[in-house]
C-alpha cells in the first residue's frame, strides 16, 4: 500500500464557475459584510449618541427645571415688563455689554417661563443668550446659552454636537454623513439577504425571532437576523432624515427640493409690496441660524404685535416674536410647535403701521414640506413627546446591537483561526457571473448613489481599490504556492 507521504500532491483545481442565478445574493453578502466591517464603527457611534439625543428633551426638562418652570400665578405681567427685567439683569450681571434683543418666546403654558433672547459678541453660530423670566412676577429664573430655533440648552446642545460632529466642527460632520449614508445601504443589503434566506428557510419564524436554542455563531446570527428585520424600516427612516442635515448629501437634497418647489414657505418680511416670499429652512430646529436685529426694539411693541398675530392665525402658546432684522423689514410672530398637532403658522407685521404684511399657514404647506417637517420632528424625538423619544431610543440601541453582533459573528469565524477557511470574507467575483443587464444595473445604481451621496461614492471607490489590491496579492501568493507544490517543481528540487 502506498503511504500518504508517497502520494504526489494534487494539482490545484480551478475554481468552479459561479451560478448566474445566485450572483445577486453573493453581491449583497459581500457588500453587507465589507460595509458593516469598515463603516460599522461610525454607525455604532452615531447610534449610541443618537440614543442619548433621543432622550435629551426629557433630560433637559429635568436638569433645567428652574430655568424652564415657574410657579403658576393668577395674573401675568406684560411682555414689556418681562423684557425690561431681562435687560436689567444683563446690565447688572456685568457681562451684558453689546447684548441686543433678538427674540422673545412668551411662556407657552401656565408654569412655564418666558425666554428673552439676545445676540452678543462671542456667541457661536446659531447661539443666543436667553434670560428666563417668571411671567407672573418678572423674577429672573436663569441665564443660559441656547442653540438654534429648537432653543436647546447647553446639555442638549452638547449631546447634539456629539451626535452630529463629535465636537469637531464641520470636519466632524463627515463622520455622521458617512454613517447615515452607509446605514441605508447596509440595511437594504441586509433586507435583501433576509428575503433570500427566508425563501429557503424551513421555518420562517426563526427569521423573525431569535433562536435561543442555537449556540455559538448560529445564536449570534439568529439575533442579528431577527433584530435587523424588525428595525429595518426605522433604520432607513433615520438614514433618510439624517442625510438632510449632512454637508454634501444634504446640499443635494436641498437643491432637489428647491427645484421641485418642495421647500418650506416663510413669511415675506420685506416692507415692499412687490417683494416675493422667501424659502424657509426645515432644519432650523436642529442647527438653523437665528436672525440678529440691527438695532434696539421697543419692549412694548412685543405685546402689540403678539396681540395682532393672535387675531390673525397664531393660536398656540408656543411662539417666537422676532423684531426686524434690518431696516425696512417687518416683525414676525410664528408658531414653533413641531409636536403633534404641528402648528407652524406665521405672520409678518409692519412695526410702524401695525398692519399685517404677510401670513403663512401650515395648512397651506405642500405635502412634501409637511412630510419633511414631520420627519425631522420624529427624528429629533419631539413629534409625539416621550413616546417618540422612547421609540427612537430603542431603535438606536437596536442599530448599535446589530453592529456589535456583526463584529461578534466575524470574531467567531475570523480567518485568523486554525480553520482559516471558515469565516473567510464572502467570495469575490459575483459580478463576473452576472448577466450583462445585471452588471449594467449595478453600475448605474452605484453611479447614481455615488453622485447623490458623494461620501458613499468616494468610500465605495476606495473599497473597490483595496479589494482589488488584496485580491491581486492573494492570487499572486496562491500561484506561487501552487507552483512550489506542483510535480515539476518537486522533481526539480535537489
State the 10-residue block means of pLDDT for the chain, 494 residues long.
44 46 83 89 96 96 97 95 96 90 96 96 92 97 94 96 92 92 94 89 76 88 93 96 91 89 89 51 44 64 96 94 92 94 95 94 93 94 94 97 94 64 59 81 88 89 77 79 68 51
Report how far residue 306's alpha carbon sits from residue 114's, in angstroms, rounded to the nearest whole number: 14
Half-sphere exposure of 14 (CA within 13 A, CB side): 3
Residues 6+ apart with CB under 8 A from 3: none
In this prediction, residue 348 carries a pLDDT of: 97
In this prediction, residue 482 carries a pLDDT of: 79
3-state SS class at 465: helix
Q: What are phi and psi of 27, to 5 degrees?
A: -65, -45
Alpha-carbon radius of gyration of the chain: 30
Angle (CA) 403 406 407, round 5°: 90
Residues 6+ apart with CB under 8 A from 331: 301, 305, 321, 322, 323, 324, 348, 349, 350, 351
Task: Name beta bridge partners: 329.
Answer: 270
3-state SS class at 157: helix
Taking a C-beta distance cutoff of 8 angstroms, is the pair 67, 142 a contact? yes
Question: Got the DSSP string for 31-78?
Answer: HHHHHHHHHHHHHHHHHHHHHHHHHHHHHHHHHTHHHHB----S----
Residues 6+ apart with CB under 8 A from 114: 79, 82, 104, 105, 106, 107, 132, 133, 134, 135
Q: Which among 319, 241, 329, 224 has a CA at the least distance from the CA of 282?
A: 241
Cell digits for 379? 427624528
Alpha-helix runs per DSSP H in 277-366: 284-287, 299-312
Helices (H) and strands (E) in the chain, counts: 14, 8
In this prediction, residue 479 carries a pLDDT of: 82
Amino acid at each position: 500500500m502506498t503511504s500518504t507521504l508517497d502520494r504526489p500532491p494534487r494539482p490545484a483545481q480551478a475554481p468552479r464557475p459561479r451560478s448566474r442565478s445566485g450572483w445577486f445574493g453573493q453581491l449583497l453578502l459581500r457588500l453587507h459584510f465589507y460595509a458593516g466591517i469598515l463603516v460599522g464603527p461610525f454607525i455604532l457611534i452615531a447610534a449610541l449618541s443618537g440614543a442619548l439625543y433621543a432622550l435629551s428633551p426629557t433630560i433637559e426638562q429635568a436638569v433645567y427645571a428652574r430655568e424652564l418652570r415657574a410657579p403658576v400665578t393668577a395674573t401675568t405681567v406684560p411682555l414689556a415688563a418681562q423684557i425690561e427685567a431681562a435687560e436689567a439683569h444683563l446690565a447688572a450681571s456685568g457681562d451684558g455689554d453689546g447684548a441686543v434683543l433678538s427674540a422673545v418666546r412668551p411662556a407657552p403654558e401656565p408654569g412655564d417661563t418666558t425666554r428673552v433672547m439676545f445676540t452678543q459678541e462671542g456667541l457661536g453660530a446659531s447661539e443666543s443668550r436667553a434670560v428666563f423670566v417668571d411671567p407672573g412676577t418678572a423674577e429672573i429664573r436663569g441665564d443660559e446659552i441656547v442653540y438654534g430655533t429648537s432653543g436647546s440648552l447647553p446639555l442638549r446642545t452638547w449631546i447634539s454636537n456629539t451626535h452630529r460632529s463629535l465636537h469637531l466642527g464641520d470636519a466632524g460632520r463627515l463622520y455622521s454623513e458617512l454613517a447615515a449614508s452607509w446605514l441605508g445601504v447596509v440595511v437594504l443589503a441586509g433586507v435583501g439577504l433576509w428575503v433570500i434566506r427566508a425563501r429557503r428557510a424551513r421555518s420562517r419564524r426563526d427569521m423573525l425571532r431569535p433562536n435561543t436554542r442555537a449556540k455559538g455563531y448560529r445564536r449570534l446570527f439568529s439575533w442579528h437576523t431577527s433584530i435587523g428585520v424588525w428595525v429595518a424600516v426605522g433604520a432607513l427612516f433615520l438614514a433618510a432624515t439624517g442625510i438632510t442635515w449632512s454637508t454634501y448629501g444634504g446640499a443635494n437634497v436641498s437643491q432637489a427640493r428647491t427645484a421641485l418647489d418642495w421647500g418650506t414657505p416663510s413669511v415675506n418680511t420685506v416692507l415692499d409690496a412687490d417683494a416675493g416670499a422667501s424659502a424657509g429652512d426645515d432644519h432650523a430646529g436642529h442647527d438653523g441660524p437665528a436672525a440678529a436685529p440691527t438695532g434696539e426694539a421697543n419692549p412694548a411693541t412685543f405685546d402689540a404685535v403678539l396681540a395682532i398675530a393672535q387675531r390673525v392665525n397664531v393660536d398656540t402658546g408656543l411662539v417666537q416674536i422676532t423684531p426686524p432684522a434690518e431696516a425696512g423689514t417687518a416683525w414676525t410672530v410664528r408658531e414653533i410647535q413641531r409636536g403633534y398637532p404641528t402648528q407652524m403658522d406665521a405672520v409678518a407685521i409692519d412695526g410702524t403701521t401695525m398692519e399685517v404684511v404677510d401670513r403663512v399657514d401650515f395648512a397651506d404647506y405642500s405635502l412634501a414640506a409637511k412630510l419633511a417637517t414631520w420627519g425631522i420632528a420624529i427624528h429629533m424625538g419631539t413629534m409625539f413627546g416621550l413616546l417618540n423619544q422612547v421609540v427612537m431610543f430603542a431603535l438606536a440601541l437596536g442599530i448599535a446591537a446589530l453592529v456589535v453582533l456583526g463584529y461578534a459573528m466575524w470574531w467567531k469565524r475570523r480567518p485568523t483561526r486554525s480553520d482559516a477557511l471558515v469565516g473567510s470574507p464572502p467570495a469575490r467575483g459575483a459580478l463576473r457571473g452576472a448577466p450583462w443587464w445585471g452588471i449594467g444595473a449595478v453600475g448605474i445604481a452605484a453611479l447614481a448613489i455615488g453622485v447623490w451621496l458623494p461620501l458613499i461614492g468616494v468610500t465605495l471607490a476606495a473599497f473597490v481599490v483595496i479589494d482589488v489590491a488584496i485580491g491581486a496579492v492573494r492570487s499572486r501568493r496562491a500561484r506561487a504556492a501552487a507552483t512550489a507544490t506542483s510535480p515539476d517543481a518537486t522533481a526539480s528540487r535537489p
